[in-house]
Amino acid sequence: MGVLLVLIVLAVLLLVGSVGMIAVGRRRARRAPYLEPPVTRPPEAPRPVVVAPEAPVAVEPEPVVVAPEPQPEPVVVAPKPRFRDRLGKARSQFAGYVGNVLSRTSIDDATWDDLEEALILADVGIGTTTAILDDLRARVKSEGITTPQELIAALKADLTAALGDADRSLHLDAGVTNVWLFVGVNGVGKTTTIGKLGRRFNEAGTPVVMAAADTFRAAAAEQLELWSKRVGADLVRGNEGGDPGAVVFDAVQRAAAKNVTLVLADTAGRLHTKVNLMEELKKVRRVAEREPGKVTEVLLVIDATTGQNGLVQAKQFGEAVGVSGVVLTKLDGTAKGGIVLAIEKELGVPIKLVGLGETADDLVDFDPHEFVDALFDA
Amino acid sequence: MFDSLSDRFDAIFTRLRGRGRLSDEDVDEVLREIRVALLEADVNLTVVREFTRRVKEQCVGEDLSQSLSPAQQVIKIVHQELVGILGGETLRITYASHPPTVVLLAGLQGSGKTTAAAKLARWFRQQGRHPLLVGADLQRPAAVEQLRVLGQQASVSVFSEPTDPVAVAAAGIAEARRVGRDVVIVDTAGRLSIDAELMDEVRRISEAVKPDYTFLVIDAMTGQDAVATAEAFHSTLALDAVILSKLDGDARGGAALSVKEVVGKPIAFASIGEKLGDFDVFHPDRMASRILGMGDVLTLIEKAEQAYDADAAADAATKLMEGRLTFDDFLEQMQALKKMGPLQNIIGMLPGVPKELKNVEIEDREIARIEAIIRGMTPAEREDPSLINASRRTRIASGSGVSSSDVSNLLKQFKEMQKMMKGFGGKAMMRKAKGTKKKKGGRVTAPR
């Protein structure tokens, strides 16, 4: 079965390729076949270097993090700053539509159009929007909703319910070296998120080790190193072009030696369509699972400006390395990040953290009520 | 994940088959599908509204020509409209009469400015220019470091100093004059369009360097927000064009269309990979096909051109269609194909490929196995597979590390494929002779 498909595909491609070439090739002078090397990153390279802080390793009895129960438990309750204030800066458009709806005396076609447009403009996506509004229509009928005020209240309740009471805690297991992998496409803010999260743990008195396993992007390790110094975390880094798995492995070893229970592992941004790079990510995860390491969170970082492609990203990364939660970054801009609604509704991956600004304190726990409230409030 | 527009249309038009003219209701239904397809491609809602209105005007009452089915006709109209929006004037760089020509890059955080700067520098170098990169992103940790590394890769020198962004940018221009560079590319920090302070800063940078070109870098995966962002940057900086980054993913890139339509500035460049060379002038027509989910035949052909030897491929295709393709030819073609990248990506570029085929996971390991089996055959066996008897089969199997049933399976499938291609090839040949390109039983390819 598999073989036949491969053969057919090859044959079709062959045909397309050659037919196309005959068409094009006749026009152009024949040129020597030029072979681009395949898109792979350089494989193995020198072993990672451990950037050691001055302190002698593992001699002094460090305060051992005592874990009473061997159960996953949520950690570090974030102070809850300004979710609404930050979102507030840019909420005008959505709120404008809601205002339109509320200004009418009854619910008519224009009402539904307004709601649909508001949701679509928030990047919720046409599929999820239609599903939400269909549910709402049914509710209007069955519950006899007649005023726009009731309608908006019902929609808010629906959206909050769609986000549900998923488990949004970040998991730390006792007795192992926890590894939190941060994954995502290029430029969504993985490194920055780790820096901010490191600050949060540092302030809570929990030491972390940062693993600069983005060995591809130029100066990514330097970027994380600056963050690690800023927040006083240990950093393990490799050489540019080195093996990211080795970096994570060394970070786990180092954390274990120092009795640190958590490793925050940065990975290179990669498009989910790049097969080789997704394979590389799978390997990083496998390596991170080696004793005493245990991957307790795989956090997909998504930029709030991301459109419908976010859903595909979540799906592909989920299939490759099992995403356990979403970090929604850059929500302080004009973008609404509505795609996370679709991600949570369709794929059941909970949003766990939200980035609301540039400073280290601007990473907060996600709260469905606040998210929906902030969306609606005029 | 999304159905292509042509798939959606197929469903509607099977019901309408046989009609020469579309009624108003038919058109409305089709327009709804267009709307959904565009929204799924992240085209901005206001742009979609305007767009469907224009398409409707053209569709209503249009006589549907004999040669095209109604579906094809509508897709053609939509495609033309899209190209119309995306295309128009393409940006041509005119160099300043008093060098250096200054290019300013701006955008949101993480849109890919620094990478785009280096790629652009490389592009200018290829045009025979001597660019200088100026790192004015002093905000993100190690941003300048990143630019330095990339600059080195592109063999372009990088200027920066830890003062303040406006001063760095101005000093960069002076430096370029001093060392005689004729193009300066200024990389700035990522900023949100509603951050008044930072928007003011980039305005001051712009005033200080007086750029000849101001490019906004936009991530191809951006959603509805692209328009708001572009408008905000345009009102602050007076943009000249847009650079679309990360187009090598599977995002449809409707943001590009929206920005062009709303801000009226063309997309000058597109970044299509992680290597510095993966960057080129933007092709509107290909983008139109992509937004419609119609595959990207042109890119495919270009890739094929690089990987294939034209004569050998033509030869193999002829053999294939006549049913005389040998394992040797097949092996050779497979090698060439592998150079084009992962199979899955290539299939994605094919228009009109059935969904079942598109979603099949093709493991490159599977291909390696086939290869191993073929390589286990003697030249005579490859020429004439009927030679292969039980003992030869066992030999091939042990030589290639598979079971002997795997070998017979491959032989059987290969024969089947030849049979299939023979019938199909005859049709394809006729079409080719007529100058149209079609595959897979009359599915629609990108209209030219």
Among A280-289, A348-357, B291-300, the least confident range: B291-300
- The C-alpha atoms of residue A220 and residue A240 are separated, in whole angstroms, by 9
CATH number 2.70.98.90 given to B5-86: no
Is 0.95 exceeded by the ipTM? Answer: no
SS3 B47: helix
DSSP tag of B98: S
- Range(s) within chain B of domains with CATH label 1.10.260.30: 299-434
Question: Of A370 and A86, which is predicted with more confidence?
Answer: A370
Residue of B nearest to A3 (CA): B410
Among A141-145, B165-169, B296-300, the least confident range: B296-300
Nearest to B421 among A11, A185, A339 (CB): A11
pLDDT value of position B355:
56
Residues B312-326, mean pLDDT to the nearest whole number = 74
Question: Of B122 and B329, which is predicted with more confidence?
Answer: B122
Partner-chain contact B143 A273, CB within 8 Å: no
Q: How far is CA A126 from the centre of its chain?
A: 22
Partner-chain contact A16 B439, CB within 8 Å: yes
Strand A351-355 and strand A363-365: the pairing is: antiparallel
* Mean of per-residue pLDDT scores for chain B: 80
pLDDT in tens, B362-384: 666 777 888 888 888 998 888 88
Nearest to B341 among A16, A38, A311 (CB): A38
| Four-CA torsion A201, A202, A208, A212, nearest 10 degrees | 100
Q: What percent of chain B shows pLDDT beyond 90?
A: 32
Chain A partners of B273 at a C-beta cutoff of 8 Å?
Answer: 39
Burial class (CB in 10 A: 0-12, 13-18, 19+), B205: buried
Query: Which residues, 6+ apart, have CB-to-CB distance to B224 below 8 Å?
Result: A120, A121, A122, A123, A307, A335, B42, B44, B45
pLDDT value of position B217:
96
Q: How confident is the model at residue B324 (pLDDT cuts 50, 70, 90)?
A: confident
Question: Of A235 and B75, which is predicted with more confidence?
Answer: A235
Instruction: Give one DSSP letter per residue of B124-152, joined into a string.
Output: HHHTT--EEEEEE--SSTTHHHHHHHHHH
pLDDT value of position B90:
66
- The C-alpha atoms of residue A76 and residue A299 are separated, in whole angstroms, by 17
Partner-chain contact A307 B223, CB within 8 Å: yes
Among B19-23, B90-94, B296-300, B429-433, the least confident range: B429-433
Helix (H) or strand (E) holding B120: helix B113-126
Chain B partners of A315 at a C-beta cutoff of 8 Å?
Answer: 1
Chain B partners of A335 at a C-beta cutoff of 8 Å?
Answer: 223-225, 228
Partner-chain contact B111 A330, CB within 8 Å: no
Partner-chain contact A13 B347, CB within 8 Å: yes
- Range(s) within chain B of domains with CATH label 3.40.50.300: 101-294
Q: How confident is the model at residue B30 (pLDDT cuts 50, 70, 90)?
A: confident
**Nearest-CA distance from A225 to chain B in Å?**
9
Question: Of B74 and A174, which is predicted with more confidence?
Answer: A174
pLDDT value of position A83:
63
Residues B237-260, mean pLDDT to the nearest whole number = 87
Structure tokens given for B246: 């990360």
Chain A partners of B141 at a C-beta cutoff of 8 Å?
Answer: 195, 222-223, 226-227
Question: Of B30 and A200, which is predicted with more confidence?
Answer: A200
Q: How confident is the model at residue B80 (pLDDT cuts 50, 70, 90)?
A: confident
pLDDT value of position A55:
41
pLDDT value of position B356:
58
Place of tokens 């955080």: B109
Partner-chain contact B142 A226, CB within 8 Å: yes
Partner-chain contact A8 B254, CB within 8 Å: no
pLDDT value of position B318:
75
Residue of A nearest to B332 (CA): A14
Partner-chain contact A14 B337, CB within 8 Å: yes
Residues A296-301, mean pLDDT to the nearest whole number = 96
Partner-chain contact A219 B223, CB within 8 Å: no
Instruction: Give one DSSP letter per residue of B346-361, joined into a string.
Output: HHHHSTT--HHHHT--
pLDDT in tens, A169-223: 999 999 899 999 999 999 999 999 999 999 999 888 899 999 999 998 888 899 9
Instruction: Give one DSSP letter per residue of B181-240, joined into a string.
Output: -SEEEEEE----TT-HHHHHHHHHHHHHH--SEEEEEEETTB-THHHHHHHHHHHHH---
Chain A partners of B304 at a C-beta cutoff of 8 Å?
Answer: 16-18, 20-21
Residues A39-52, mean pLDDT to the nearest whole number = 48
Q: Are B295 and B350 in contact (CB under 8 A)?
A: yes
SS3 B35: helix
Nearest to A20 among B304, B320, B425 (CB): B304
Nearest to A311 among B1, B148, B362 (CB): B1
Among A42-56, A194-208, A276-290, B284-298, the least confident range: A42-56
Q: Which CATH entry fits the domain spanning B101-294: 3.40.50.300, 3.30.70.270, 3.40.1190.20, 3.40.190.10?
A: 3.40.50.300
Q: How far is CA A195 from the centre of its chain?
A: 15
pLDDT value of position A17:
47
- pLDDT greater than 70 at residue A232: yes
Query: Which residues, 6+ apart, have CB-to-CB distance to B430 below 8 Å?
Result: none
B151, amino acid identity: G
Residue of A nearest to B341 (CA): A38
Among A42-46, A167-171, B77-81, B172-176, the least confident range: A42-46
* Mean of per-residue pLDDT scores for chain A: 80
The radius of gyration of chain A from alpha carbons, rounded to an integer in Å, stands at 24
Partner-chain contact B45 A117, CB within 8 Å: yes
**Nearest-CA distance from A252 to chain B in Å?**
25
pLDDT value of position B206:
95
- Range(s) within chain B of domains with CATH label 1.20.120.140: 5-86
- pLDDT greater than 90 at residue B159: yes
Among A71-85, B28-42, B397-411, B424-438, the least confident range: B424-438
Residues B239-244, mean pLDDT to the nearest whole number = 92
Partner-chain contact A25 B275, CB within 8 Å: no
Nearest to A39 among B194, B341, B409 (CB): B341
Residue of B nearest to A228 (CA): B141
- How many beta-carbon pairs below 8 A join chains A and B? 285
Buried b (16+ CB within 10 A) or exposed e, B377-395: beeebbeebeebeeebbeb
pLDDT value of position A165:
79
Residues A126-138, mean pLDDT to the nearest whole number = 93
- The C-alpha atoms of residue A188 and residue A331 are separated, in whole angstroms, by 11
- pLDDT greater than 70 at residue B9: no
Strand B267-271 and strand B241-245: the pairing is: parallel
A40, amino acid identity: T
**Nearest-CA distance from A171 to chain B in Å?**
28
Q: For B238-363, where are the alpha helices, taking DSSP H only?
A: 254-263, 284-291, 297-307, 310-322, 327-338, 343-349, 355-358
- The CATH class that applies to domain B299-434 reads mainly alpha
- The C-alpha atoms of residue A330 and residue B223 are separated, in whole angstroms, by 13
pLDDT value of position A9:
62
For residue B161, count other CB atoms closer than 10 A to its CB: 15
Partner-chain contact B1 A315, CB within 8 Å: yes
Chain A partners of B330 at a C-beta cutoff of 8 Å?
Answer: 10
Partner-chain contact A16 B297, CB within 8 Å: yes
Q: What percent of chain B shows pLDDT beyond 70?
A: 75
Partner-chain contact A275 B342, CB within 8 Å: yes
Among A96-100, A244-248, A352-356, the least confident range: A96-100
- pLDDT greater than 70 at residue A52: no
Among A170-174, B81-85, B138-142, the least confident range: B81-85
Best mutation target, A4, A13, A316, A330, to test chain B (most B CBs within 10 A): A13
Chain B partners of A274 at a C-beta cutoff of 8 Å?
Answer: 248
